[in-house]
Amino acid sequence: MKLFVSRILLGIALVSLPLLAACGDDDDGGGHDVNRGGAMHRSGAEDPLNNCVGCHGSDLHGGSGPSCYSCHSRPADHTAIRGGVAHNPGSKDICPTCHGPNNSGGLGPACANCH
């Protein structure tokens, strides 16, 4: 597991360098200055549909910045099976990041479809 995490962190570091160059001069003067597990993100990354799509594309699969999925893997992130459906094993507080405000749908489906 530690080797897997080390490889992920190395990948994040390698992806972060062009990311900083591509979006470092944002209109608001901010850059990717928030360290999240060794990867630099802009503040507001917990709401990617409002704060990341400008560089990373409307579906975060890449634009002038790299695809977010080069580091964030939906299947690998959702390893807890509940009711036959894969969920993220972390706190439910992180679900709105992908599933939208109030988990009403975003990058991922609305949670109300099942809950």
- Indicate whether 60 and 87 sit together in one domain: no
Which distant-in-sequence residues (6+ apart) come within 8 Å of 41 by Cβ?
32, 34, 35
Mean predicted confidence (pLDDT) in 85-112: 86
**pLDDT at position 94:** 84
- Assess whether 55 and 95 both reside in one domain: no
pTM for the structure as a whole = 0.56
Say whether both 58 and 95 belong to one domain.
no
Q: The tokens of 60 are what?
A: 């975060």
Work out how many domains the chain is built from and give that number.
Answer: 2
Q: What confidence score (pLDDT) does residue 63 get?
A: 92
Q: What is the pLDDT of residues 29-50, one digit of tens each?
A: 458 898 887 888 998 888 888 8
CA geometry: angle 98, 78, 41, nearest 5 deg = 45
Q: Do 30 and 50 sit in the same domain of this protein?
A: yes
Contact 48/107 with Cβ under 8 angstroms?
yes
Joined tokens for residue 68: 């977010």
pLDDT attached to residue 19? 41
Q: What is the pLDDT of residues 7-33, one digit of tens each?
A: 554 445 444 444 444 444 444 445 889
**Is residue 13 within 8 Å of residue 39, measured between CB atoms?**
yes
* Together in a domain, 14 and 67: yes
24 and 55 in one domain? yes
For 106, the domain range is: 78-113
